[in-house]
Amino acid sequence: MFYHLLFPLKAYFSPFNVFRYITFRSFAAILTALIISLIVGPYCIRKLKELQVGQFIREDGPQSHFSKAGTPTMGGLMIIFSCLVSTLLWADLRNPYIWLLIGVTLSFGLVGFLDDYRKVIKKQNQGLTGREKLLGQTFIALVAAFWLYFLPGFKHTLTIPFFEGVRPDLSWGFIPLAVLVIVGTANAVNLTDGLDGLAIGPVTIASVFYAIFAYLAGNAIVARYLKITFVPGVGELTVFLGAVVGAGIGFLWFNSYPAQVFMGDVGALALGGVLGTAALATKQEILLVLVGGLFVVEALSVILQVSFFKVTNGRRIFRMAPIHHHFELKGWPEPKVIVRFWIIAIVLGILSLSTLKLR
């Protein structure tokens, strides 16, 4: 909105020319989303308490979590609101990538909201069935995949890290890959959301690095220099992802240990869907395995635990899955698990950035 209202006035007042720069609007989006989060946070938490939207704790979960029962959940609504308002204020709303991520955020957020809502109404830690959630997520991911596929100027190639010029054209194979990336990332982030601040920290960190990737991929000169795929218009996603960063930091103010509010599925699924879609749009799909390596490990720990349990008739690899609970049961204090996982996320992000020149 500010871009469309103020940038045309540059002819009368030259300082308004600053609105043309993605970097300026991205930093403005970060600060705006952060301020909005800090303002609406107390109101949101108070309303969730009044509506008795409290978290239910798994009976088979760590005993240290039982004291968290009743903590307001669905705080992801605060993240979505802050992110979208900031984006609408600072982004170029003519850009199709912006509307794609807005649609993904709202759609995955809706699936998460329905899941959280059913948990609260039924007073049990289940919600939507696995089939219902998967169908909803797959449909949304299919729409996003076709949106990207038919977007003018968008290439259906796959970027292979470390190999210069190796970019196989997937053609229609891009569609199932896109669905796998989006749905897989959304659920991996959701599985990571088990400790105070554990998920929002790595999500914010990953958003920082994908904002960098978006800016680089959207600049023809820089993309040519780094020998990465140039994606016309994708640089504007830097503003959206900046808003995610600001909203994430603002939410962390209330979600840090001991948490005053949890994001719930409404936040985790929305943020995961955003990261998966951003990875596809910037042509850094495979690199998501490294940037979001923490989410990958969390999801794999669940898959391995369940598979091993079934094959061996009750034996386990970890004391509890996802793997953050394993470290809790080994005696690590919750804040130690959280901060160490954040450190891992930062290191993985830095490593992913370094791959841009290792070709």
Are the beta carbons of 338 and 198 closer than 8 angstroms?
yes
Mean pLDDT, 10 residues at a time, the chain of 359 residues: 78 82 96 98 92 67 61 93 97 96 98 89 70 95 97 89 80 96 96 92 97 96 91 97 98 94 95 98 94 94 91 88 90 93 96 82
Rounded to the nearest angstrom, the gap between the alpha carbon of residue 21 and the centroid of all alpha carbons in its chain is: 24
Maximum alpha-carbon separation in the chain: 75
Residue 121: predicted pLDDT: 66
Residue 62: predicted pLDDT: 64
Domain that holds residue 8: 2-354
- Is 39 within the bounds of a domain? yes
Q: What are phi and psi of 229, to 5 degrees?
A: -70, 125
- Is 291 within the bounds of a domain? yes
Q: Which residues contact 212 (CB under 8 A, 6 or more apart)?
A: 238, 353
- Is 79 within the bounds of a domain? yes
- 317 burial via Cβ count (<10 Å: 0-12, 13-18, 19+): middle
- Is 340 within the bounds of a domain? yes
Residue 166: predicted pLDDT: 76
Q: How many domains, in total, are found in the chain?
A: 1
Are the beta carbons of 7 and 223 closer than 8 angstroms?
no
Question: The pTM is what?
Answer: 0.93
DSSP 108-146: HHHHHHHHHHHHHHHTSS--S-HHHHHHHHHHHHHHHHH
- Is 359 within the bounds of a domain? no
- Is 182 within the bounds of a domain? yes
- Is 81 within the bounds of a domain? yes
Are the beta carbons of 351 and 290 closer than 8 angstroms?
yes
Residue 14: predicted pLDDT: 79
